[in-house]
Structure 1
Amino acid sequence: MIDDLRRLDVRAWSLAGLAFCVLMMGVALVLEHVVGLEPCPLCILQRVAVLAAAAVFLVAALHNPVGRLGAVLYGLLSLGAVGGGIAVAGRHLWLQSLPADQVPTCGPGLDYMMEILPWQQVLSQVLSGSGECAEVGIRVLGLSLPGWTLVGFLILALAPLGLLLAANRPRRGYHWSG
């Protein structure tokens, strides 16, 4: 099976990652617009991470570099975006695990902060969390939505790792014995 995965090229791994990003965003948009769940600031940051990974996967799929450098570059860039999503989802889960008396108070809305504060301060305040980020709206099979998002990011991490695997694939015309 590893040999089969090793044969996949940059385009195949990128399209798989892009498709999973589309799936993750589709679920998020259905939960927002059909179910009526309003995303908190940390949910929005997780969406940004998905969109950043999707952008890297799209460019990688269109470019489809044959050299190792391109595959490594796209693998590392997409892994950075996915890693950021994992960190934010983990932070979100941590906030949800806090006892009620330790949950940060609700602050101003993200739109308001974006209008009056520099982006560095907005990011700092969003990552510190707020009461709305600590609320557990619904659970599916025992996991809250940030828990499922973390699972999604962990699955999505397979695509950048696949890109790095593709970078180590032997070039055509060469024989690789390992």
Structure 2
Amino acid sequence: MTNSSVNVSGIEFTTIDGTQVSMDDYAGHVVLLVNVASECGLTPQYEGLQELADDFADRGFFVIGFPCNQFMGQEPGDEAAIKEFTSGKYGITFPLTSKGDVNGEGRHPLYAELTKVADSDGEAGDVQWNFEKFLISPEGDVVGRFRPKVEPGAPELVEAIEEYLPV
């Protein structure tokens, strides 16, 4: 598990529907924040992310998808197209944010903090690709970083989620 002094409490974002939300709204809950894309080879991970959201919802767990078009233009649509695709093709019911950047000068403030956290190999810095996952504790601390090829059902990810969930 990653030990981190990075905390994302109070950082605001806009949902895909245009509602202003704060990470404080998720205080007391475990959150998996994932940058997502509709036209990526990893897009089928949406299925596993929805399963995680469903499996742990009653224990205070949320998945939040952050659509991003920074990786080979694999999220080209607007918010309406993204919402239609994710709900229609994958039955996504977990929250999605408005589309934004995860790397570079224009990166969203959430990702300015998240990218300070190292993965299990001790590597911090830019998001490598679509479907990179960040685990946030009920206190708002970033407690895990899982690279894109770590599947949502991977034992190391599920165990990390369960470690922070209330019994």
TM-score w.r.t. the length of structure 1 is 0.26
Higher strand fraction (1 or 2): 2
Structure 1 or 2, whichever has the larger Rg, is 1
